[in-house]
Amino acid sequence: MGQLLTLLLEKPTNDSVEVAVGFVAECGSLLQDLCPKGMNGVLERLRGILHEGDVGKRVQFLIEGLFALRKAAKFQIVRPELDLVEEDDQFTHQVSLLDEIDGDSALDVFRPDPQFVENEKMYEDLKKQILPEDEGDEDEGANSEDGDEEEDGEQIKDETGTDLVNLREPSI
């Protein structure tokens, strides 16, 4: 992770700094736990980029927001709503940017599944076992609401032409 940040911040551009800031915002706590000196180095580099002023105002604002996030200690390793897999069941891989990775080229070609329908039924059964019943009902509820509006015949149509005007205006 540190290699990626080092590579992004080596020759900073607006895009590379923005990606680095987003990465640190999402993974900052884990980086701090794994390699505190590396994380401090990345933050010092971001502070230097901020003081140099070689990046745009938007990116400077993003860097300042990252420091505010760090100061408020809001870095989270994993968001609670995404923590679905038990730690014993997790598989992690350590890969360096310099490592040679032998890819499986057979995965580059699409091959249709001859038992698609049967496999899809097995997937639906498994999904019903794992996910609560409420999640499937939400999608059906949204569709029924749309259907109610169509039955009443009270759909609102925008006939002001604002979409056309916005399309014709030059972007900033």
Q: Which of 28-32, 75-79, 124-128, 157-161 has the lowest mean pLDDT?
A: 75-79
Least-confidence region, from 15-24, 83-92, 124-133? 83-92
Per-residue confidence band for 114, with pLDDT thresholds at 50, 70 and 90: very high
Is the pTM above the cut of 0.75?
Answer: no
Residues 25/27/29/30 CA torsion (nearest 10 deg) = -170
Confidence of residue 141 (pLDDT cuts 50, 70, 90): very low
Torsion of CA 27, 33, 38, 41, to 10 degrees: 80
Residue 116 confidence (pLDDT) above 90: yes
Quote the pLDDT of residue 103. Answer: 78
> In 3D, which of 20, 24, 81 has the Cα closest to residue 55?
20
pLDDT at 147: 47
Q: What is the pLDDT of residue 171?
A: 58
Q: What's at 103, amino acid-wise? A: G
Q: What would the mean pLDDT of 44-66 be, rounded to a whole number?
A: 87
Give residue 100's pLDDT: 83
Average pLDDT (54-71) is 85
Q: Which one has a higher pLDDT value, 14 or 90?
A: 14
What integer pLDDT is reported at residue 117 of this predicted model?
A: 94
The amino acid that residue 119 corresponds to is N
